[in-house]
Amino acid sequence: MKQKYQENCLSITRKLQSREAEILHVKTELEQVEQSNVLKSQELEKMKKQLECCANQLQIARDEYYNLHKEYKEIKQMLEDQIKKYRALTNDNICETTKNEYANLQEKLKEASFEIIELKDQLNKLTCDNNALKVAIGSLITNLERNIKGPSFTSLPGNSAESLAGEILNSLNTIEDIIVKNNSQCNCMSQISSQYAMEDTEVLIASQLPDCCKEFQGMLKDSVQPPSISSLKTSNSEDNNKLF
């Protein structure tokens, strides 16, 4: 009987120990849950504060938007009033100014048209002068070639083709410089064209030439008779191209 009682006590003791262990485990879990609850409560409090801060910022932004919109309406209304006020005053002035500018532009266009016409005339004159210069130089070379083929060609010893060609080119360059210099002051182009035309005539006397042509008249008379024009063109083609 006593042994059975001891066994029962031992069994009850074991059950109590098991219950105590379960209670301890539950207590530990409860403490963990309480700690987790505290942490979550703190996080929730922080989130509440952040939410309140965002709500305040949203309200501030909304108030600023309303204020800006109100100021925008006021500025817009003020500008509309100013435009209505000054439109009648400035409309006539703008119209008058536009008319004056249009008239000035028409006048400038007319002046530009006259200038274009003058430039065209000058261009035509320069073209004619250039053509006349080319004709005169061509006539001069032709006359020189004609003189070369004469009987007096054999009486000029000691003059090489190179030196004669150089003298002719220098003479032509001098003629071109003098004509360009005096082109706006005389009609020497027509004088030169008529003087060196393809005719068997002599050089005009000095009294019949314009002053600007007298500078190279003597030089033309004193020019030596060069060799044939074909040799000049062959040995001095580059210089002739520059001249023309």
CA quadruple 171, 175, 176, 177: dihedral, nearest 10: 100
Question: If pLDDT is split at 50, 70 and 90, which confidence band does 99 have?
Answer: confident
Taking only the tens place, the pLDDT of each residue in 191-241 is 545 544 444 434 433 444 445 445 444 544 444 344 444 443 444 444 444
Mean pLDDT across 143-171: 60
**Separation of alpha carbons 217 and 156, rounded Å:** 22
> What does the alpha-carbon distance between residue 212 and residue 191 come to, in Å, rounded to a whole number?
11
Task: Check whether 31 has a pLDDT greater than 70.
Answer: yes
Contact criterion met (CB below 8 Å) for 174 and 222: no
Q: Do residues 198 and 142 lie in contact, with contact meaning Cβ atoms separated by under 8 Å?
A: yes
Measured distance CA(233)–CA(141) in Å, rounded? 11
Whether pLDDT at 176 is above 50: yes
pLDDT band at residue 163 using 50, 70 and 90 as cut-offs:
low
Q: Which helix (H) or strand (E) holds 242?
A: helix 237-243
- Give, as one character, the DSSP assignment of residue 5: H
Q: Please state, in angstroms and rounded to a whole number, the distance separating the CA atoms of residues 190 and 195.
A: 8
Residue 179 lies in a domain: yes
The rounded distance, in Å, linking the Cα atoms of 234 and 67 is 94
What is the predicted pLDDT for the residue at 9? 79
Q: Which pTM does this prediction carry?
A: 0.28
Inside any domain, residue 135: yes
Residues of the domain holding 144: 74-148+161-244
Looking at the 3D structure of the chain, how many domains does it have?
A: 1
CA Rg value for the chain: 58
What pLDDT shows up at residue 165?
A: 63
Q: 């059950």: which residue's tokens? A: 15
Q: For the chain, how are helix, strand and coil distributed in percent, rounded to 5?
A: 85, 0, 15
- The neighbour count for residue 156, using CB atoms within 10 Å, is 13
Handedness of CA 236, 164, 146, 223 (dihedral sign): positive
Mean per-residue pLDDT over the chain, rounded: 70
